[in-house]
Amino acid sequence: MANQLLSTVAYRDSLPEGYTRPEHDRPRLADVATDTNIPLIDLASPDMHRVIAQIDQACRTYGFFQVINHGISEELLAKVMAVGLEFFRLPPEEKAKLYSDEPSKKIRLSTSFNVRKETVHNWRDYLRLHCHPLEEFVPDWPSNPETFKETISAYCREVRLLGLRLLGAISLGLGLEADYVEKVLGEQEQHMAVNYYPRCPEPDLTFGLPKHTDPNALTILLMDPRVSGLQVLKDGAHWITVDPRPNALVINLGDQLQALSNGAYKSVWHRAVVNAAQERLSVASFLCPCNSAVIGPAAKLVGDGEEPVYRSYTYDEYYKRFWSRNLDQEHCLELFRGQQ
């Protein structure tokens, strides 16, 4: 049903039916704060011990951080944003070729989050791509725009290298061997969501995405440099805006790192809001454990005589449970606590 795509129709005056959130579940944009202390980490610093300590502190307090001098060129970041916008501006009949509302499909264009289950829709279209190994998936990626495959492939390669580098720093921050997390996660899958949030006539009444955590291990987010939309829950109490910084990437911890750290690190609750003034694009890259990976707290992080906070499980079990729920339900990790 490609006619559900928001990017094919301009809604000028009011939200269409099915997008208005109940009164208790609205963004309340006037109550959102700005936090000038959001961790910003320079990965080119020669003091790697300091970088690891900064990442560790950010993971324990915020559950996310921004990185600069991350090794991905400014030119490539700009090309990714440009080709993403170009894709969503294609004619409806071109986009219809890729449309699907089947969550298990590995390459699909869709809208909202899970239109088969949800009762209120989200003000978002998105292109979902599997990205590793590239040679397996790229042939089925969009051929239009003509630079799409080349540009996004180049970005995927760089993001994977960055993600593995960050996982090494996270391992060291936890006091583990540098390759511990990467080994536990196995041959990691890599997914991408190119998110398009059109201008919204009533942004106070809906979300681009409601609050959620990410079910994977690590998310690397390229934000639209022109407009903010990402908000993060700080201290479980109040929402803060994450403003875009030139050439920075946002790093979100996913649920699997919270489990591996025995709850020391936080998988951050976050959401996307929309605005009436301009469209917004973001590109989220997800590093995911292989389905057979057994996830559980590292033994070194469980005190003598104590029970681990979470039981062990396979990522396949977790991911299926995550997708069987609504996005904004209780933290999915709560279903894996203790010796259940």
In the predicted model, is pLDDT for residue 84 greater than 80? yes
In the predicted model, is pLDDT for residue 234 greater than 70? yes
- Quick one: pLDDT at residue 304? 85
Q: Using 50, 70 and 90 to split pLDDT, how confident is the model at 329? A: confident
pLDDT in tens, 134-152: 999 999 999 999 999 999 9
In the predicted model, is pLDDT for residue 328 greater than 80? no
Cis? peptide before 27, omega within 30° of 0: no
DSSP sequence for 56-109 = HHHHHHTSEEEEES-S--HHHHHHHHHHHHHHHTS-HHHHGGGB---TT-SEEE
Pairing of strands 280-288, 313-314: unpaired
Q: Using 50, 70 and 90 to split pLDDT, how confident is the model at 231? A: very high
Sequence-ordered list of residues with C-beta below 8 angstroms from that of 51, at least 6 positions apart, any chain: 41, 42, 43, 45, 169
Contact by Cβ (8 Å): 238, 53: no
In the predicted model, is pLDDT for residue 340 greater than 70? no
Q: What is the CA 41 to chain-centroid distance, rounded? A: 19
User: 11-20, 73-82, 212-221: lowest mean pLDDT where?
Assistant: 11-20
pLDDT in tens, 156-175: 999 999 999 999 999 999 99
- Quick one: pLDDT at residue 112? 85
Instruction: State the Cα–Cα distance between residues 90 and 139, nearest whole angstrom.
Output: 19
Using a 10 angstrom Cβ sphere, with 0-12 exposed, 13-18 middle and 19 or more buried, the burial of residue 57 is middle
pLDDT in tens, 88-112: 999 999 999 999 988 788 999 999 8
- Quick one: pLDDT at residue 239? 96
Burial 186-199 (b: 16+ CB within 10 A, else e): bebbbbbbbbbbbb
pLDDT exceeding 70 applies to what percent of the chain?
98
- Quick one: pLDDT at residue 339? 62
- Quick one: pLDDT at residue 173? 98
Instruction: State the Cα–Cα distance between residues 100 and 65, nearest whole angstrom.
Output: 33
DSSP 8-state class, residue 14: S
In the predicted model, is pLDDT for residue 1 greater than 70? no
- Quick one: pLDDT at residue 237? 84
- Quick one: pLDDT at residue 327? 65
Q: Using 50, 70 and 90 to split pLDDT, how confident is the model at 214? A: very high
pTM (2 decimals)?
A: 0.95
Q: Calculate the average pLDDT of the chain.
A: 94
Structure tokens at 224: 């639209």
- Average pLDDT of span 236-258: 95
- Quick one: pLDDT at residue 205? 97
